[in-house]
Structure 1
């Protein structure tokens, strides 16, 4: 996996970001979600690298990236990734993202609109809409939103006592089956989960998501960005239970287009061929527009 990619560690303002780079063409940044790492993109990075300069990064504190402070807000994560791409010589670039990576990408558009040329969001609703629709049905499926955000170190201590057990339960609860994960990808997720600093990042991420990130999104609510946006989601997940995902995201990205796939939350690893096909249509259309 990633045999044709170069691994790098890049120091940014308050973090050291790990990424892998490969391919030639227009720059393309891939951002993963919780509780995964850059390895989630393994099914088709080689295909994307045939037409793009692909940068596959770990979010701050996740995977092999290191946070040098306790700021795990999406604002900080977005700033990291823009700095990474600038370090590589890319002032603007396309973004493909999943889960927490998509929330980072959304904040990147809000804070650094000149940097993002197009965006792909996978299996999420806007953060504000998740909290506004958090009822008993959704809370059972998104229990980690509340658990990881608890103050103090209680969540970290419990997870660190049985990190593999927790990881497998977290993946299973969102995927429906852990058989969709390639053994080498699962091994990478397990290695990360056994690092207490990664667990601290998970908790810091969701703590920010229940506080400062909400404040940031409320302050920017009503702002729209007229850039190409593709939205994909799993029909077996929770995203479309309370509202139409396209309508929810149209309030932020008027040009948003997309569709559901017959899958759970981790659509890249469950339906890689279908996701790749949708991405190629999206990226090819951008090439035709110049």
Structure 2
């Protein structure tokens, strides 16, 4: 078989592109009513119309080319939702016009999930497998759309490493989580009787009804920076009382192991007016203002 001049010049073959010219005459005058009757996208007869009639009569390629013109009319009129519904119902009616297939695949992959991207790629593969030798302009666009979807799916599943396979392609690195994750920083406070990682002991330990006291001072966990050494900071009385579960009377009992224990009576702060008497019997009555008899 001898290729035609257009095929030798890598242009669309007239045998593949002539349906686009026939669709201009088959469409006739473009009106809103003719768009609705070509393929109904709402109402009772949804998914039926001139398109399905031509498909049953064996004129599917003419119906597909005309459907693309109707799709463009919806887009030019600013009715994007109607155009998307048309692409959907053309695909349901077994129409495989490449530009409409690409539009339908874009709708499927809108959420960006792995399952939706796989479904959109499958739709493109099914259409490309049916018309693999077609030279119309829409098929290279559909292949480009498929490559875009494959790239999105690859980036979603993982990233590329610096290593190359035997063909020179980067090896993808799958995202994963360790089965046994470990903490980078140690816990500041460990359970009673067992300090956390990186936490040092400071003095004897006194346990009483869940109360944990390491002397009067509590050690701070070692910093990640070696220049920052652990420093001892004194615990506030309110913190010690809170550790005792709001029961300050626990602090007055002696420690069972002889450790240093904080007594509630020793640390009790005296009120500011305790050393100054405000009784009139001691201070005396206030003096009268000068000049007043």
Q: Given the two structures, how large is their TM-score scaled by the length of structure 1?
A: 0.23
Q: Please state which structure has a larger fraction of its residues in strand.
A: 1
Pick the structure with greater CA Rg. Answer: 2
Higher relative contact order (CA 8 A, sep 6+): 1
Q: Please state which structure has a larger fraction of its residues in helix.
A: 1
Q: Given the two structures, how large is their TM-score scaled by the length of structure 2?
A: 0.23
